[in-house]
Amino acid sequence: MKTVFARPESMKSTPMHYCSGCGHGIVHRLIAEVIDELGIRERTVCVAPVGCAVTAYNYFNFDVCEAPHGRTPCVATGIKRVHPGNLVFSYQGDGDLAAIGTAEIIHSANRGELITAIFVNNGTYGMTGGQMAPTTLLKQKTATTHMGRDAKLAGYPIKISEMLAVTPGSAYIVRGSVHSPKNILKAKRYIRTAFQTQLDGLGFSLVEVLSSCPVNWRITPTQSNRYIDEVVTKEYPLGIIKDVSKPADAT
């Protein structure tokens, strides 16, 4: 009998602790599949964030380093400079990357650091109980915006990927989502291209992935997927934001 679906070698068999409907598990699996397909498991090093994915080393079947909250790309930088032949990626939530680690991600991108950031944007701080993140939408209710996010009090949802695309050091910046099978397949292609960008030495790469946190959004997983499709993607449009391998305008 032919096996059509199996656990990627880059994944351990440990059951995941993520809540049902959480996007993290899907993103983990996509990363593992891509690493298997590229045949680079034995030279991959992941830097895990502080956030719900803090124990990523329990799931990834390759080397993983813990980093202080938001310093993830700095730790990845240190590792990459020691082992330039390795694939080094940071895995970060929106609190990790877009709040406490804003300086670190901007300067890593601007240095053209040959690392990849996998940026899971679920619009909230999952691990600490659903507080506002910099990416939280206006009017979105969270544990720290009870009446909904008010721009006058708490500013605006930040488009950090677009900001990073402006730095000359970034080579590939893209936004995908994991709310539907079609988008999951697309997100996988984005991750593959981002890793390839790093392996080809083109510059810094980042894949933002819109992801659900049903527990803190206080809706069901199915409603969460619809919410991403109908609401979140309006604020955070999907697609390639920057790709230096494809000149934007040849005319």
Partner 1 sequence: MVTATEKKLLMKGNEAVGEGAMIAGCRHYFGYPITPQNELTAYMSRRMMDVGGTFIQSESELAAINMVLGAAAAGARAMTSSSSPGISLMQEGISYMAGQQLPAVIVNVARGGPGLGSIGPAQSDYFQAVRSGGHGDYHCLVLAPSTVQEMMDFTILAFDLADRYRNPALVLTDGLLGQMMEPVVLRQPDQRKPIDKPWALTGCKGRGPREIKSLYLDLDLHEAFNQCLQEKYARITQAERRCEHFMTDGAKVLLVAYGIAARICKAAVVTARSNGQAVGLFRPITLFPYPTPELQQAARGIQAVLVVEMSCGQMVEDVRLALGSTVPVSFYGRSGGNVVVTEDVLAQVQELL
CB-based burial label for 88 (10 Å; 0-12, 13-18, 19+) = buried
Nearer to ligand TPP among residue 110 and residue 128 (C-beta):
128
111 binds ligand TPP (CB under 6 A): no
Q: Residue 77 and residue 80: Cα distance in Å, rounded?
A: 5
* Nearest alpha-carbon partner for 108 in 169, 151, 150, 33: 169
126 binds ligand SF4 (CB under 6 A): yes
For residue 81, the SS3 value is helix
Q: Which residues lie below 8 Å from residue 2, measured CB to CB, with a gap of 6+?
A: none
User: What, of ligand TPP, partner 1, ligand SF4, none, does residue 60 touch, CB below 5 to 8 Å by kind?
Assistant: partner 1
Q: How far is the CB of 60 from ligand TPP (least distance, A)?
A: 16
Beta bridge partners of 240: 174
Nearer to ligand TPP among residue 100 and residue 202 (C-beta):
100
Q: Which of residues 12-41 bind ligand SF4 (CB under 6 A)?
A: 18-19, 22, 24
Structure tokens at 24: 């993290």
Q: How many residues bind ligand SF4 (CB under 6 A)?
A: 12
73 binds ligand TPP (CB under 6 A): no
Nearer to partner 1 among residue 39 and residue 247 (C-beta):
39
Structure tokens at 68: 């202080």
Nearer to ligand SF4 among residue 129 and residue 168 (C-beta):
129
Q: Residue 236 and residue 162: Cα distance in Å, rounded?
A: 10
Q: Which residues bind partner 1 (CB under 8 A)?
A: 12, 41-45, 47, 54-55, 57, 60-68, 71, 74-83, 86, 103-104, 106-107, 111
Neighbouring CB atoms inside 10 A of 173's CB total 29
For residue 174, the SS3 value is strand
Neighbouring CB atoms inside 10 A of 147's CB total 8
Structure tokens at 216: 């803190």
Nearer to ligand SF4 among residue 123 and residue 203 (C-beta):
123
User: What, of ligand TPP, ligand SF4, partner 1, none, does residue 128 touch, CB below 5 to 8 Å by kind?
Assistant: ligand TPP
98 binds ligand SF4 (CB under 6 A): no
Chain positions contacting ligand TPP, by CB under 6 A: 49-53, 69, 93-96, 120, 122, 124-128, 133
Chain positions contacting ligand SF4, by CB under 6 A: 18-19, 22, 24, 52, 122, 126-127, 213-216
